Chain A
Amino acid sequence: MRKNIIIILTILSALTFSSFSHDGENHSSEHRLKLDYKASVGTIDPNGKIIRVNVKGLVCDFCARAIEKVFMKEKSVAGLTVNLEEKEIKIFTKKGMNIDDDIIREKIKDSGYIVSSIERI
């Protein structure tokens, strides 16, 4: 009986440890993911959200500056990065803040472009 209890406790401990360690790995990789990004403007809040937006018509650096101007007026935005090659922007929100898809579409339109897709990382 005592042996069985020890075995069960050992298995449970192992599972618990495994679970914690897996969770820890997720956190770690998510943190690494954020560290891999560099904001073109503003900053990256490690506790904020990352929103990837694919944009049609994003061909000119000079014109794309409008996106910076428009989005950096938003209170929820900590920073953003623009990738002309991939035709995408990444919006970095502040901790505990979000920005709706409809607002993103409207802001991109105000910048002179059209959203083709929005993905929350």
Chain B
Amino acid sequence: MSNLRWLKSWEFALLVALMVELAVLGMINPAFLNVQNLLYSTSDFVHVIIAAVGLTLIIMTGGIDISGVSLMGLASIVLGLSFVAGAPIWLAVGVALAVGLLAGAFNGSVVANTDVNPLVITLAMLFLYSGVATGLPTLLDMLGFKAYGAGGFEAYQYEGINGLPKSFTWFGTGRIGWLPMPLVVTLVLTLIAGWLMGHTRFGRFLQLIGVNAEAARHTGVPLKRTLITVYALNGLAAAVAGLVLTAYFTSARSDLGAEALLNIITAVVLGGSSIYGGEGSVLGTFLAGLVLGYLRQGLLALGITSDVVPVIVGALLIGSVAGRIGLAALQRSRANRAAYETERQAVAANGE
């Protein structure tokens, strides 16, 4: 019996939902079920999954980081500016990833060292990083750096930076066998995050902090170090998401990913993570991200305007949480009734 428990898991439910979704969309429009198409269309939305996987680790601790959407744009523009300033592309990528990691670590250190709500801190960071991302090109101009193109760095603010080398854009447009590179990157990151969460001490620390941070501290969990690390990892994931998107669009822009916040949080929550911490699954986030992404693709393929998509995503977010609350209430009342029943029988047996 116990080896069938996975059938009842939330991840399995998501997998079924994904299959049903693909089947329904395929029935309405058979062209949708072309395997190659299905694989390739993931490139449009995997940046959401990558960022959501990073955020899952944070939400596990009961925290939140909404600044990831700004970090995507910041990483992208940092890569582009480093490249046009003459850095080799591998160095530019390294700088962009380092910026994401450090920015995340900065978020984490403020969260770990103050009692200010993480939402407030990362709200400030959301503004800060997006402002830096949009302002960076003008700053370089003011500091007297020279860009190769006409109009100086400032022109990049509006046009985006093109002409990135093939070796980099391959990460957005290339493929290994059947798998497009963005999906490969996503799979690798999901596996790493899943391993961290399920098979390392660090992962257990995350959950313990989410269940009860004070108890975690008293049992010797290095609270500050763990928090800083997890926020840094999230920053890194956001930067990767930004770079994958950059490679896919073959253009570095400071506003990449800015509209993804609703989708990212929906993927995490639909994936089964509790916003209060202590409960969550990287695999669930990954599957929920696929469900959401294909839903969008399918709706668009059906000729439904993209305006309706946020309505459905929003309804899905609310519906999934409401459903889980209802389910929990049902289980509770069932358990109560069962307990009452056994108690009644025990009393009856005693009475005889």
Q: Are A and B subunits of one complex?
A: no
B: residues with CB less than 8 A from A are: none
Interface residues of A, Cβ cutoff 8 Å to B: none
